[in-house]
């Protein structure tokens, strides 16, 4: 093998694989300890201890949970469509990981800095609906199928309002590249103009990831565990990992779109001595805390309330805000060049 061939193809390819390996490991580790943080924070809110016995302060609890799930028997229903039943959780988990390749953790730390990063994220996240429908249909269970239909309609409904919210951000920044969105100059009045959309976006990602109070795919009184009710062992764990990976992904996307990504808060230059990745992680943890806070605080919505909120409130509001933001930008001659 010639040195030129190695320099052009082999070394960049090996570096890319290394970056992907580090990214996958970091996401899986973050998912594992997100479950620990959720149980600890909810325990504090409900005046109980949370995990505390496995390792110091219960820090080894996620590892114990993983070992337990790996050691259980995988049960496939006899009347199910076995290939689709097995592929569904793998597809959902892979999509949750693939989306991370375009998320810029710092100015130079991104696996694929695509010019159309937002479109890539939308394309990949939209495919998650297929995994959920496949899981519900392949289980050959009415409970699982109803849960899949509820989850799919919920995700599609809130993707519409999320898309319009992102259009507002694109109008202000003038780019589909996530790194350029972070670095775009936004005066204070633009931040104030986008603040209502930040609130709507956070509520929408709660519904998009099927989290409380919008965890309607589950329903103990009607459809039990929803589309994953027939899954067990590691196949169930893949759904679990995919859900938490999507939570972290959506929190990171919120940080990139609205909270300045890796930049220090409020543009304070003195805080730039802190590494960029630390600011990104802290901001993402703040949004994840909102996920946990909502789960510990609010009761579950009814399904008709969920659909009304998405179609009759959020959709008209976000559409109106697109018109408002574009009108203000044109009137003040502030459209990005």
Instruction: Quick: pLDDT tens for 134-178.
Output: 998 998 888 888 888 888 888 888 988 999 999 999 999 988 899
Last residue of a domain, one of 71, 93, 120: 71
Please give the backbone phi and psi of residue 184, each rounded to the nearest 5 degrees, phi first: -60, 140
In sequence order, the 6+-apart residues with CB closer than 8 A to the CB of 268 are none
Instruction: Confirm whether 157 is domain-assigned.
Output: yes
- Convert the pLDDT of each residue in 281-292 to its tens digit: 999 999 999 999
Which of 17, 45, 71 lies at the terminal end of a domain, its last residue? 71
Regarding whether 278 and 153 lie in a shared domain, the answer is yes
In the chain, which residue ranges form alpha helices assigned H by DSSP? Answer: 3-5, 11-45, 61-71, 82-98, 117-126, 128-138, 142-173, 178-183, 188-208, 233-258, 276-297, 303-308, 315-331
- Give the pLDDT confidence of 91-115 residue by residue, as tens digits: 988 888 888 888 998 888 888 888 8
Q: What is the pLDDT of residue 223?
A: 65
If asked whether residues 42 and 178 sit together in one domain, one would say no
Q: Does position 337 have pLDDT exceeding 80, yes or no? A: no
Same domain, 162 and 216: yes
Lowest mean per-residue pLDDT among 69-78, 174-183, 306-315: 69-78
**pLDDT above 70: percentage of residues in the chain:** 93
**pLDDT confidence band for 194 (50 / 70 / 90):** very high
Average of pLDDT values for 57-84? 87
The Cα 34–Cα 62 span in angstroms is: 9
Same domain, 217 and 117: yes
pLDDT (tens digit, 9 = 90+) per residue, 204-216? 999 888 888 888 7
> Same domain, yes or no, for 112 and 237?
yes
**d(C-alpha 251, C-alpha 284), whole Å:** 5
User: How far is residue 76 from each of residues 80, 140, 332, measured CA to CA in Å?
Assistant: 7, 11, 61
Mean pLDDT of 8-14: 55
| Cα separation, 147 vs 137, whole angstroms | 10
At 204 the pLDDT is: 92
Same domain, 1 and 132: no
9 burial type by CB count under 10 A (0-12 exposed, 13-18 middle, 19+ buried): exposed
Query: Number of C-alpha atoms within 13 angstroms, CB side, residue 35?
Result: 21
> What is the pLDDT, as a whole number, of residue 222?
67
Residue 32 maps to a domain = yes
Same domain, residue pair 223 and 274: yes
Q: Let me know whether 302 and 211 are in one domain.
A: yes
At residue 78 the predicted structure's pLDDT band, cuts being 50, 70 and 90, is confident
- Do residues 111 and 23 touch, judged by C-beta distance below 8 A? yes
Sorted by sequence, the CB contacts under 8 Å of residue 52 that are 6+ apart come out as 58
The pLDDT mean for the chain works out to 86
Whether residue 140 sits in one domain with residue 31: no
Whether the pLDDT of residue 335 is over 70: the answer is: yes
pTM beyond 0.95: the answer is no
Instruction: Answer yes or no: is 337 within a domain.
Output: no
Is residue 9 very low, low, confident or very high in pLDDT (cuts 50, 70, 90)?
very low
> So what's the pLDDT on residue 217?
73
- The total number of structural domains in the chain stands at 2
Residue 211 is assigned to a structural domain of this protein:
yes
Q: What angle do CA 150, 151, 157 make, to 5 degrees?
A: 90
Establish if 336 belongs to a structural domain: no
Asked if pLDDT for residue 220 goes beyond 70, the answer is no
Query: Across residues 34-39, what is the average pLDDT?
Result: 92
- Cα separation, 103 vs 242, whole angstroms: 17
Q: Where in the sequence is the domain holding 213, given as residue range(s)?
A: 74-331
For residues 87 and 63, membership in a common domain is answered with: no
254 within a domain of the structure (yes/no):
yes
Rounded Cα distance, 9 and 47, in Å: 56
Mean pLDDT value across residues 22-45: 88
Does residue 167 fall inside a structural domain? yes
């Amino acid at each position: 093998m010639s040195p030129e061939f190695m320099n052009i193809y082999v070394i960049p390819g090996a570096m890319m694989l290394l970056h992907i390996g580090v990214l996958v490991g970091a996401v899986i580790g973050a998912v594992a300890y997100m479950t620990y943080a959720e149980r600890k924070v909810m325990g504090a809110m409900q005046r109980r201890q949370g995990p505390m016995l496995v390792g110091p302060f219960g820090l080894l609890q996620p590892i114990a949970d993983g070992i337990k799930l790996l050691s259980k028997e995988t049960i496939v229903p006899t009347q199910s469509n076995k290939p689709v039943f097995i592929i569904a959780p793998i597809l959902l988990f892979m999509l949750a990981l693939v989306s991370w390749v375009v998320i810029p953790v710092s100015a130079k730390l991104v696996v694929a800095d695509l010019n159309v990063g937002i479109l890539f994220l939308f394309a990949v996240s939209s495919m998650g609906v297929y995994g959920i429908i496949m899981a519900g249909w392949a289980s050959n269970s009415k409970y699982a199928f109803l849960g899949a239909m509820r989850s799919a309609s919920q995700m599609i409904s809130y993707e519409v309002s999320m898309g319009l919210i992102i259009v507002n951000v694109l109008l202000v920044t003038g780019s589909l590249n996530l790194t350029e969105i972070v670095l775009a100059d936004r005066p204070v009045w633009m931040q104030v103009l986008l603040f209502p959309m930040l609130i709507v976006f956070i509520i929408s990602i709660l519904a998009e990831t099927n989290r409380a109070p919008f965890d309607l795919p589950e329903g103990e009184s009607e459809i039990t565990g929803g589309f994953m009710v027939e899954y067990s062992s590691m196949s169930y764990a893949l759904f679990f990992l995919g859900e938490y990976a999507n939570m972290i992904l959506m929190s990171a996307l919120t940080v990139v779109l609205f909270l300045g990504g890796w930049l220090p808060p409020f543009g304070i230059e003195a805080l730039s001595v802190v590494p960029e990745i630390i600011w990104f992680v802290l901001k993402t943890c703040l949004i994840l805390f909102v996920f946990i806070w909502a789960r510990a605080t609010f009761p579950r919505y009814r399904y008709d309330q969920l659909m009304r909120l998405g179609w009759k409130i959020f959709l008209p509001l976000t559409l109106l805000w697109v018109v408002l933001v574009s009108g203000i930008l044109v009137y003040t001659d502030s459209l990005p060049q």
